[in-house]
Amino acid sequence: MNAETLVKAVGLVTRAERSGRGFFRLTLHAPEVARKVQPGQFVMVAVHPLVAAEAESLVARWDPLLRRPFSICRADANRGEIALMGETRGRGSALLAAALPGQRYSLLGPLGRPFRLERARRRLLLVGGGMGVAPLLFAGERFAASGHEVSVLFGYRTQSAVVGWEETAAWAAGRYLATEDGSAGEKGLVSDVLRRLLAERGKVDAILACGPPGMLAAVTGVAREARVHCLVSLERAMGCGFGVCLSCAVARPDGTYALVCTDGPVFAAEEVDLTV
Amino acid sequence: MALPDLSVDLGRGLVLANPVMTASGTCGFGEELARLFDLRRLGAVVIKGTTLRPRSGNPPPRVVETPAGMLNSIGLQNPGIDQVIAAKIPPLARYGVTVIVNIAGDSPAEYQELARRLDGVPGVAAIELNISCPNVDRGGMVIGTHPELAAETVGAARSVTSLPLIVKLSPNVTDIGIMAQAVVGAGADAVSLVNTFTGMAIDVERRRPILARGVGGLSGPAIRPLAVYQVWQVFRALGGGRGRPARVPIIGMGGIMNARDALEFILAGASAVAVGTATFVDPWTALEVVEGIEQYCRRHGVQAVRDLVGAAQEAAGAEVEQHDGEQGGEHDGE
């Protein structure tokens, strides 16, 4: 991990967007993190807003206790801002979903290994499922800016679950949208659309994928069949985010475990066994 | 006023510069925290539970958050004693960190073998016998809940090493005082408590336990009052009282989030404290606890932190001074 660069920072909410489905996207002013973070990295966010410094030690912010991991979906070093997105799943995300501009949150980060690609892998296909598009938005923008040809294939359950799609228009060379019920884009699973795209469109130098476990297992299977280099960004429940609690174990093919927080969250597909 | 004396003597030559250590299993082998601050500023670092052979740990999910706490079921994932001695201890020792090695085995013979291998290893200041891990099928908590087996285990380790032996006790017993007496009688130089409380969380939608192994160990602020009381009980069971030390020093832990929490343990009878789950939330917590204890001593005119050990025993209430505006005066009820 890039532990050398881990900092405890305060993120000031400058923008809070919400949708009726429990989706939220927060833009935070956190200059040090914004300057350091690379695509694929994440931050651990304390779910309780900070109070005035002189009262901070008096406030018990211990339920929920643990910070929550969030991929960075955008970083702007000039403005000193990062953005993260999530959906309400439990107590922690419900609190963060209620964040308001002007509130401050404690962050640890940036954490984890970023997406790393040789320059020669020019044509990239980003395959995202649901909220898994978050790190791909950041990666797509940066890799496109550095000369890669970036296409996106994003899949969602249904039209109202579509997030992050519009902004890909700014940098994506090809854009493919799928929903399981066909209410937006093509009807079907991203793994099925991916198989067809690889057959029809010809060569892709690397796939970058992020999404739910079942989707990632299917996508890595398709990539393996097509012999396309594939990087996956994994999401697991985490206690600490920096390698000491050993909670976020993911199986390696040899039966031992890797940690998503420090060995990942980005892995080469063959480094992890997603079927376990 | 001179700087308060924070040093603590845990017996058999184990003297710490201050009473704050990391709890085993919450700071790995120190590598991650060492990048964030100078570990020598802590009293000691207690490294991850180490076994004879490497262990890959339990299948995920290994952790679930619970009210003001968490359940873990890591399963003693570690690279094994040979690798720990060869690669994990030397960097800490070179750096000058006081290293305490936590060991776990299936049987008294395994603890003995682990202790034998650690005896004489440069940089190892003490051994903590983990007879209280709830997340393995054999050894661990089974030993830590049977006084005779616990005593046999301590005796076996005692016979092969001159290193200070700390025994980490399980709270999952009817009377932790009996366990403490048993291990002290068998040669323990200090006791540490508590390890996690066994617990379970169930996914009501899927109708099964959330952790892959079902049961896990509960930690975090949720357990702090339980842990403080167990320290209180052990202090008394070992003959301690106000102004009268226990037969061996106690290392208290369980949900410490800040210096105020740590002082509860010290006042209940702990000579030292360990910060565990709080490190996950904020890796600088242990360091802040050191600083907070020092500030407390200055504020209260305490010359040596050891003068506070067990100071809440007996006469609690009648002699407690009121200090306006201080946290201790108002119960925060978190």
ipTM for the whole complex: 0.93
Based on the fold, state whether residues A131 and A257 are members of the same structural domain: yes
Distance from CA of B88 to the nearest CA of A (A): 14
Based on the fold, state whether residues A166 and A253 are members of the same structural domain: yes
Q: What CATH number did the domain enclosing A28 receive?
A: 2.40.30.10
Nearest to B258 among A57, A106, A108 (CB): A57
Based on the fold, state whether residues A106 and A129 are members of the same structural domain: no
Round to whole Å and give the CA distance between A97 and B253. Answer: 34
For chain B, domain boundaries? 8-59+74-198+219-329
Rg (CA), chain A: 18
Distance from CA of B212 to the nearest CA of A (A): 12
Output the six-digit token pair for B115: 């202790």
Chain B contact set for A89 (CB, 8 A) = none
Q: Is residue A116 part of a domain?
A: no
How deeply is B207 buried, as exposed, middle or buried, from its count of CB atoms within 10 A (0-12, 13-18, 19+)? exposed
Residue A138's domain comprises 123-271
Q: Based on the structure, what is the number of domains in chain A?
A: 2
Beta bridge partners of A18: A24
Q: Is B207 left (phi over 0), alpha (psi -120 to 50) or beta?
A: left
What is the secondary structure of B114-133 as a DSSP string?
HHHHHTT-TTEEEEEEE---
Q: What CATH number did the domain enclosing A212 receive?
A: 3.40.50.80
Distance from CA of A223 to the nearest CA of B (A): 25
Based on the fold, state whether residues A87 and A177 are members of the same structural domain: no
Based on the fold, state whether residues A241 and A181 are members of the same structural domain: yes
A106 to chain B: closest CA residue? B282
Beta bridge partners of B199: B216
Chain A contact set for B31 (CB, 8 A) = 243
Q: Give the mean pLDDT of chain A.
A: 93
Based on the fold, state whether residues A99 and A166 are members of the same structural domain: no
What is the domain class of B8-59+74-198+219-329 according to CATH?
Answer: alpha beta
Instruction: Count the helices and strands in chain B (H runs, E runs).
Output: 11, 16
Instruction: Give the model's pLDDT for residue B2.
Output: 77
Q: Give the mean pLDDT of chain B.
A: 93
Q: Is A24 helix (H, G, I), strand (E, B) or coil?
A: strand
**What is the mean predicted confidence (pLDDT) over B138-162?**
91
Q: Is A191 left (phi over 0), alpha (psi -120 to 50) or beta?
A: alpha
Instruction: Give the model's pLDDT for residue B333.
Output: 42
Based on the fold, state whether residues A104 and A140 are members of the same structural domain: no
Contact A21, A160 (CB under 8 A): yes
pLDDT digits (tens, 9 = 90+) for B15-29: 999 999 999 999 999
Kindly report the length of chain B.
Answer: 334
Mutant choice from A56, A238, A247 vs B, greatest count of B C-beta within 10 A: A247
Please report, as a single letter, which amino acid is at residue B131: I
pLDDT digits (tens, 9 = 90+) for B300-318: 999 999 999 999 997 544 4
Instruction: Give the model's pLDDT for residue A201.
Output: 77
Question: Which of residues A111, A139, A162 is at a domain's end?
Answer: A111
Query: CB B65 to CB A255 under 8 A?
Result: no
Based on the fold, state whether residues A107 and A167 are members of the same structural domain: no
Contact B299, B328 (CB under 8 A): no
- The residues of B that are catalytic are 133
Instruction: Give the model's pLDDT for residue A179.
Output: 97
